[in-house]
Structure 1
Amino acid sequence: MKLTLGFSPCPNDTYIFEAMVHGRIDTEGLEFDYFMADVEDLNHRAFRGLTDITKLSCYAYSFAADNYLILDSGSALGYKNGPLLIAKREMTDAEISVSRIAIPGKYTTANLLFSLAWPDAVSKTEYLFSDIADAVLDDRADAGLIIHETRFTYQGKGLIKLADMGQFWEEMTGMPV
């Protein structure tokens, strides 16, 4: 049986799926047509039922749960590794609420967490996750919500952390993100 498989190009996804898609493990007769895409693109493909197996934002799952099941393995949850809100300068909560925010997608868990922390912030623009820091640097956004490996490189571009959305979630719930 051949199944479609979608995952993001972030290192933990490519590591998780590499052996499976390259035939390095016994898949018990299953074959895969795979593709890599941005997480928000994967979310939208899942909403339309275009993939058999897919990476999906935890938040997006609530919109696709009728058609997908969460697998026993493959999730990337943890402490101290959530999305970060970054900017060129310090900002107050009131300033953040009225600022232009670059987000990695409407249905990303990052956007959900940001919306919980700043429910009045409505000026959001979606960007490819890897373009968010540049959107802030180029003044297309006042602040940006970064995910994946950008969490480890933003300081090298002269940007600062305003908030750690993972820490916000952990303090609110005691759960990993």
Structure 2
Amino acid sequence: MRIAYSPCPNDTFVFHAWAHGLVPGAPPLDVTFADIDVTNGMAERGELDVLKVSYAALPWVLDDYALLPCGGALGRGCGPLVLTREPGHGGISLLGGLAGRTVAVPSERSTAYLLFRLWAADVVPGGVGEVVVMPFHEIMPAVRDGKVDAGLVIHEARFTYGQYGLHRLADLGEHWEATTGLPIPLGAIIARRSLGADTLKLLAESARASVRMAWDDPGASRAYVRAHAQEMDPAVADRHIGLYVNDFTADLGEDGYAAVRALLTRAAAEGLVPPLGPDALSFP
């Protein structure tokens, strides 16, 4: 089974057991490591059988892929941040808006970007200025060096932005949770619908078993996690896993599905994504 997921600690932690043939009855995996912006493109082109993608990419791929009810990333207190260089918002105020400002984002087809645009629509009069897409690892240095006025960051940047002397303008997850009461949908696991209902169910069972095995023996995956997160401090990697691997990883549940529908419905209303069909999120 050809699969692509990121080298981030939460993904390598979740898939360690399955990727190493430790999940009884699970199909063997042929793993490709790629950042989520790359896997989003793979899904849109119909490449590979199973992929970790952004929830923001679902409206473009759900004709060919089904959303698995487990293995992905949702949570609370784990949303993207908007960062500036100077305290006091670096001269940027919400009342003044971000009009005329340059904001770096890691992708325009990501949950982080959708949350950013929904936040701006709610609380930033005049909207935002120029949006510049750049690789995730370049954003904080660009804000620090004054190349952009603000940066949208995700994942471990929640723990490390202070090392760049940066300051938080907004926590987009806090805004999302305050306005919806729902968890933040970040990364989804999808599988090709043509594999058939029985195989899709087996894949979901395998992902769920891999998650539970990782929880039962966290030390088993440590070398695998660190091998693919070489530039990340081990303590940060552990915090990363603790934040992004949670009950929603084992089972989306009612709140998880409600969060995904809310995100994509709101985004469609803003013209950011195509509208979902009524059964788009159904699983066999």
TM-score (norm 2): 0.59
Runs of 4+ in 1 over 6 A off after TM superposition: none
- Name the CA distance, whole Å, in 2 between partners of 1:104 and 1:9: 16
- After superposition, residues 67-82 of structure 1 pair within 5 angstroms as 67-82=64-79
Query: What CA deviation, in whole Å up to 9, does each residue of 1:17-55 have, x standing for no partner?
Result: 111111122244x22221111111111111111121111
Paired position in structure 1 for 2:37: 40
Asked whether the equivalents of residues 102 and 145 of structure 1 are also in contact (C-alpha less than 8 Å), the reply is yes
Paired position in structure 2 for 1:104: 106
Structure 1: gaps (5+ residues): none
Pair 1:122–1:33, CA change in 2 (3 A): farther
Deviation, 1:71, is 1.0
1:10 to 4, 8, 11: 8
1:23 correspondence with 2:21: yes
Paired position in structure 2 for 1:167: 174
Q: Which structure has the greater CA radius of gyration?
A: 2
Asked whether the equivalents of residues 143 and 151 of structure 2 are also in contact (C-alpha less than 8 Å), the reply is yes
Pair 1:46–1:122, CA change in 2 (3 A): farther
Asked whether the equivalents of residues 103 and 132 of structure 2 are also in contact (C-alpha less than 8 Å), the reply is yes
Deviation, 1:95, is 4.2
Relative to total residues, which structure has the larger helix share, 1 or 2? 2
Asked whether the equivalents of residues 97 and 118 of structure 1 are also in contact (C-alpha less than 8 Å), the reply is no
Paired position in structure 2 for 1:115: 117
TM-score (norm 1): 0.92
Asked whether the equivalents of residues 38 and 129 of structure 1 are also in contact (C-alpha less than 8 Å), the reply is no
Structure 2: gaps (5+ residues): 122-126, 185-284
- Name the CA distance, whole Å, in 1 between partners of 2:75 and 2:50: 22
Asked whether the equivalents of residues 38 and 128 of structure 1 are also in contact (C-alpha less than 8 Å), the reply is no
Pair 1:80–1:21, CA change in 2 (3 A): same
Asked whether the equivalents of residues 84 and 147 of structure 1 are also in contact (C-alpha less than 8 Å), the reply is yes
Q: Which has the higher contact order (CA 8 A, sep 6+)?
A: 2
Between 1:15-24 and 1:119-128, the stretch displaced more is 119-128
Identity of counterpart residues, as a percentage?
A: 39
